[in-house]
Amino acid sequence: EQSVEITKQCEKFNKQSEKIDEQSVEIIKQSEKINKQSEKINEQSVEITKQSEKINEQSEEITKLHENNIRHLELKLTTMEDLTTKQSEKIDEQSVEIIKQSEKINKQSEKINEQSEEITKLHENNIRHLELKLTTMEDLTTKQSEKI
């Protein structure tokens, strides 16, 4: 009877071990997905930064054009000068807002990277914990076998 019971326990242990292996594989897959998402977010952040730089360059060019227009318009109409200046200020404000948004996205990307690292650490801790449980179960089975 003890032999039958030990066999049943071994089978249970093997099933549990298989489940642990499956969970470990799933955890690794999820971690890989998270890492891929983090990479995509980083790429998007880089792209946004590039776009922001382009917008800044365009804004500088637009500002230069506006300054030339202002000089030209000063010779013709004072009222037109005021309108052009207001447009230039709006463009500058929009440029500043775009930079702020880009910085926010970069910060969010950093947070996501940190969270991804934390998740990876948790997965690694879970795997170590499962390995410890497995070793303990193996030790118990070995001791029971030796008793028999």
Cα–Cα distance for residue pair 54/27, rounded to 1 Å: 40
Q: How many CA atoms lie within 13 A of 116 on its CB side?
A: 20
pLDDT value, residue 147: 86
The secondary structure of 35-78 as a DSSP string is: HHHHHHHHHHHHHHHHHHHHHHHHHHHHHHHHHHHHHHHHHH-H
Q: Does residue 12 sit in helix, strand or coil?
A: helix
Decide if pLDDT at 8 tops 70: yes
What confidence tens digit (pLDDT) does each residue in 120-143 have? 999 999 999 999 999 999 999 999
Contacts of 23 (CB under 8 A, 6+ apart): 130
Q: pTM, whole model, 2 decimals? A: 0.35
- Give per-residue pLDDT as tens, 51-86: 989 999 998 999 999 899 878 767 777 666 677 788
Average pLDDT, the chain: 89
Distance CA(99)–CA(92), nearest Å, equals: 11
Neighbouring C-alpha atoms within 13 Å toward the C-beta of 35: 10
Q: Report pLDDT for 107.
A: 95
| pLDDT, tens digit (0-9, with 9 covering 90-100), for 86-119 | 888 999 999 999 999 989 999 998 999 999 899 9
Does residue 50 have a pLDDT over 90? Answer: yes
Confidence (pLDDT) at 145: 86
Contact 49, 106 (CB under 8 A): yes
